[in-house]
Amino acid sequence: MTQNNYYLQKWLLETPKYTVFRVNKLMDFDIEKLKNHLEEQRIELKASKIPKYYFLKPDCLIVEQWPFIINIEKTRNEVLVDPLCASAVLRGAHVYAPGVLGLPSNCVLNERIDIYGAMDGKCRRGLKVKYDGDKKYVGTGYLKMLRYNIFDKGIQPSGIAVQTLLPASMLPVINETIFPRGHVLLQNLPSIIAGWVVNAQPYEYILDMCAAPGNKTTHLAEMSCNKAVIIAIDKTVQKTNKIQQSCNTQGVTCVKAYTFDSTKCYSNEDNIKKENMMDPPYSSNMFNKILLDAPCSGLGQRPQTNNKITPKMLQSYKFVQRKLFDAAVKILKVNGKLVYSTCTVTVDENEGMVAWALEKYPCLKLIPAEPLYGGPGLPDVGLSVTERAMVQRFGPGDDHLRPVDDLYKNTIGFFIAAFIKTGDVTS
């Protein structure tokens, strides 16, 4: 293992040091509610002061860790959760019922309970006693569901099982219910930055190719003051329903969601017969801007508590990404903008995809993915120094091409590239 790989793997195991919220510009936001919420937590945790918070931009709120170590005694009971749920708790989330693996039957509603992640994947759902396998303390909170609510009804449970008070990561838990529904949402910082790179404007025709659950889609709508024409596509009804639900919650009306395979959203038929011109598939030169937030290996998510991806699975993503890229280039208008992003750290899915696209499509011109907050692309993987400086990669490394502030190193692993289409596609 190289030194760079060692530091990358170490970084992926750690929890980001900031909680990030996207603020809905279509609705009012009362910052005093956040301040009061943090003050209530400060009193309960007996902390000396509340965490620092500030706006990076009007639609992006940053909340830092609690400023000092807070000592809370362990309790007599514990709830066991799966690795994904454990990672979410470390990021400042509550424990939702589907993530619970084990809970004793003698617990009392609203009592404080410690949260442990079962890290070895050997715990069977429904455990009644304390787990003796590989487990990790991830936080403490208040029990909101008893055992029979979670395991004994014969249906998939929903809702908050444990209201997290303090994660082991010391990130503040911001209960989104203190704000009116749809006014703010938790969103990773690079995901918000990807929306800024698209820079949606009123009356543009914009396609979000792999849109579920809709966080980037609604961000684009809000950036355009709800006046762009935005098409959001994903492969299943469940996913498009989620997109529509996100739009309804956030007061977005300019988005139309379709259940469709985006790898097939281009058609070379001259006259496509359909009731609405915005129904997929599409002919050439349809959209001013396209966001391709591609399905990926997800290896940028932090903390990586239990990764089961196989080498075969890892190799498969680039082929799907290339199919999506091919469709996107063809339906993008000449002089239109294509933004490509992933939440992974592999070269094949990031710099390698950019290098492939530039060679495959002479009509594509790489442009700076501005605003540039992340670091440059990696060296010696197919991009020139100039091209490396145009993309942005979020991760632990330093590079003389573009110094990166601590905030942007302490988020998830992510990649963003932007292109302009300079002419028609030649096959």
Instruction: Flag whether pLDDT at 269 surpasses 70.
Output: yes
3-state SS, one letter per residue, for the chain: CCHHHHHHHHHHHCCCCEEEEEECCCCCCCHHHHHHHHHHHHHHHCCCCCCCEEEEECCEEEEECCCCCCCCCCCCCEEEECHHHHHHHHCCCCEEHHHEEECCCCCCCCCEEEEEEECCCCCCCCECCCCCCCEEEEEEEEECCCHHHHHCCCCCCCCEEEEEEEECCCCCCCCHHHCCCCCEEECCHHHHHHHHHHCCCCCCEEEECCCCCCHHHHHHHHHCCCCCEEEEEECCHHHHHHHHHHHHHCCCCCEEEEECCHHHCECCCCCCCCCCCCCCCECCCCEEEEEEECCCCCCCCCCCCCCCCCHHHHHHHHHHHHHHHHHHHHHEEEEEEEEEEECCCCCCCCHHHHHHHHHHCCCEEEECCCCCCCECCCCCCCCCHHHHHHCEEECCCCCCCCCCCHHHHCCCCEEEEEEEECCCCCC
Residue from 354, 337, 338, 424 nearest 393 by CA: 354
Between β-strands 78-81 and 95-96, what pairing exists: parallel, antiparallel or unpaired? unpaired
Whether 247 is catalytic: no
How confident is the model at residue 427, as a pLDDT? Answer: 59
How confident is the model at residue 55, as a pLDDT? Answer: 96
Q: How far apart are CA 105 and CA 127, in angstroms?
A: 10
pLDDT digits 0-9 by tens, 310-320:
888 888 999 99
pTM: 0.92
pLDDT digits 0-9 by tens, 372-398:
999 999 999 999 999 999 999 998 876
Place of tokens 């692993």: 413
Residue 281, preceding bond cis, omega within 30 degrees?
Answer: yes
Out of 135-149, 208-222, 320-334, 394-408, least confident range: 394-408
Instruction: Flag whether pLDDT at 81 surpasses 50.
Output: yes
Residue 303, preceding bond cis, omega within 30 degrees?
Answer: yes
Residues in CB range of 154: below 8 A, 6 or more apart? none
Give the residue-averaged pLDDT of 246-259. 97
How confident is the model at residue 270, as a pLDDT? Answer: 63
How confident is the model at residue 271, as a pLDDT? Answer: 61
How confident is the model at residue 217, as a pLDDT? Answer: 98
Question: Catalytic residue among 210, 296, 343, 363, which?
Answer: 343
Question: Which residues are registered as beta bridge partners of 19?
Answer: 63
pLDDT digits 0-9 by tens, 42-52:
999 989 999 99
Give the residue-averaged pLDDT of 96-118. 94
Out of 109-118, 189-198, 276-285, 340-349, least confident range: 276-285
- The pLDDT mean for the chain works out to 92
How confident is the model at residue 1, as a pLDDT? Answer: 38
Percent of the chain with pLDDT over 90: 73
How confident is the model at residue 312, as a pLDDT? Answer: 87
